[in-house]
Amino acid sequence: MSGSIRSWIEVGGVVALVGGLALVSVQIRQSTEITKVQLETSLTQHWRTVDSTRQSETFAKVLAKSIEQPQDLTLAEFFELDAYYQGVLDQLENVASHAEAGYRAPTLEDTFANNAEIYFGNAFAKAWVNRHFGTKSQANENWAQTLLAAIQKVDSGASEAKYRGVLQDIE
């Protein structure tokens, strides 16, 4: 085989290799984007699961009582609220894991500030989360510290004010 043909074969091989690597790169990028969408969808589904708990007539009454009259909660109602808030914390930890892995665009500070207002804008919830992290070593984790800082900024009357505000807008 002459040198010229061998050179052309080598050039062809290099071009094929570079083309193959480019194709692999595109496929990896597409897979990464698909994974991000799947993770975001999974987070959204888990939030809907957490929030669907509040749609139960029985639990909605317990949650309202924890906002309006937390001193009157029964031990059974505490159990319900404990499971609910544990689910919220589990979901927020998932959000933190996704953010740490680079799968979420918003900062944890922004995400936790929004969620702190939604879920921890009452005296019971704030006391619960402080007690929960006060006895757990995970309060030393960065996500937990970020969450606690966000919760501390939320007024204890924020939940009630939000819902009462909607009623005022109707009148």
As for how many domains the chain has, the answer is 1
- Does residue 102 lie in a domain region? yes
DSSP letters of 52-115? HGGGSHHHHHHHHHHHH-GGG--HHHHHHHHHHHHHHHHHHHHHHHHHHTT---S-HHHHHHHH
Contact 128, 136 (CB under 8 A): no
Q: Is 19 a member of any domain?
A: no
pLDDT digits (tens, 9 = 90+) for 14-58: 888 888 888 888 888 887 777 666 766 666 666 666 666 767 889
Query: Helix crossing, 158-170 with 57-68: angle to 10°?
Result: 110
Once rounded to an integer, what is the mean pLDDT over residues 83-91? 90
Looking at the domain assignment, is residue 120 inside a domain?
Answer: yes
Q: Judge whether 23 lies within some domain.
A: no
What pTM value is reported for the model? 0.70
Q: Answer whether residue 26 is part of any domain.
A: no
The parent domain of residue 46 ranges over: 39-170
